């Protein structure tokens, strides 16, 4: 199965993807993660990517599409994958359609105020990638899996969040229209389990088609 996950930053895309990975044995391809790795490199490309990411702006298509094509050519993608963070624009969807056919698109919906609340409190582990938030009892700034001090992504700060959500709002409707009846919409207002349940049922149906 070749899946696309659509959803604003902070809508729970990554968490949903992890659940799908577990049950359907598909690799999760997060362009945000891949580009963050490139941004750490000491190169012109790394510098360019970092400058866009820091401000919450989209990295140009020439770079992002090359990065994606390269990732899709790896062996673990032969039986399908979950695209998390690509496409983000209609143009990206059209580029993707030139190299592959997507089976289904899961679109996560969540109120923008709730998204901002989730993003400003989000913290990440630099070592194992675990994601936590500052809002729960017992939060102590350390990763609950490996005890490494957590950090806040530069683009989870208020100005960058605003920019990222603006980009998302502008692009989501054309994307949904482009994919038409391949789109399955789910709300992530409840718990991660509640979000995943209908998606799992939908994907099981798709797999058995
Ligand atoms: P994410 O981790 O998905 O929130 O992505 C973080 C940042 O990576 C975005 O704000 C962009 O700067 C960059 N990025 C990720 N995916 C894409 C994409 N499909 N097109 C352009 N830039 C992207």
The Å distance, Cα 205 to ligand 1 centre, comes to 30
Residue 186: closest CA among 200, 169, 204:
200
The number of folded domains in the chain is 1
Residue 50 belongs to domain with CATH number: 3.40.50.300
Q: Which domain holds residue 23?
A: 2-207
Measured distance CA(174)–CA(179) in Å, rounded: 9
pLDDT reported for residue 30 = 93
For residue 51, what are its two tokens?
């400058």
pLDDT reported for residue 14 = 86
Residue pLDDT, tens place only, 184-201 = 999 999 999 999 999 999
pLDDT reported for residue 122 = 92
Q: Which residues contact 101 (CB under 8 A, 6 or more apart)?
A: 2
pLDDT reported for residue 174 = 96
The Å distance, Cα 187 to ligand 1 centre, comes to 22
Residue pLDDT, tens place only, 28-61 = 999 999 999 999 999 999 999 999 999 889 999 9
Mutate which of 7, 29, 32 for ligand 1? The one with the most ligand atoms within 8 Å of its CB, which is 32
DSSP three-state, residue 204: helix
> What is the mean pLDDT of the segment spanning 128-142?
93
Is residue 163 predicted with pLDDT exceeding 90? no
Give the global pTM: 0.87
* In contact, 106 and 200? CB cutoff 8 Å: no
Measured distance CA(149)–CA(131) in Å, rounded: 12
Measured distance CA(149)–CA(90) in Å, rounded: 38
Active-site amino acid positions: 13, 88, 122, 153, 164
Q: How far is C-alpha 123 from the geometric centre of its chain's CA atoms?
A: 16
């Amino acid at each position: 199965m070749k899946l696309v996950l659509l959803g604003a930053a902070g809508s729970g895309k990554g968490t949903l993807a992890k659940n799908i990975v577990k049950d359907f044995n598909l690799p999760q391809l997060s362009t945000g993660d891949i580009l963050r790795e490139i941004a750490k490199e000491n190169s012109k490309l790394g510098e360019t990517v970092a400058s866009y990411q820091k401000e919450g702006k989209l990295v140009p298509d020439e770079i992002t599409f090359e990065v994606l094509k390269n990732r899709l050519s790896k062996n673990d993608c032969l039986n399908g994958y979950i695209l998390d963070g690509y496409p983000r624009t209609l143009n990206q969807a059209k580029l993707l359609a030139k190299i592959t056919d997507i089976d289904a698109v899961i679109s996560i919906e969540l109120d923008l105020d709730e998204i901002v609340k989730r993003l400003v409190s989000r913290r990440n582990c630099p070592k194992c990638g675990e994601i936590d938030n500052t809002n729960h009892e017992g939060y102590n700034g350390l990763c609950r899996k490996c005890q490494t001090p957590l950090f806040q992504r530069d683009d989870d700060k208020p100005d960058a969040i605003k920019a990222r959500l603006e980009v998302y709002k502008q692009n989501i409707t054309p994307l949904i229209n482009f994919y038409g009846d391949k789109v399955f919409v789910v709300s992530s207002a409840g718990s991660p389990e509640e979000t995943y349940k209908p998606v799992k049922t939908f994907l099981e149906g798709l797999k058995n088609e």
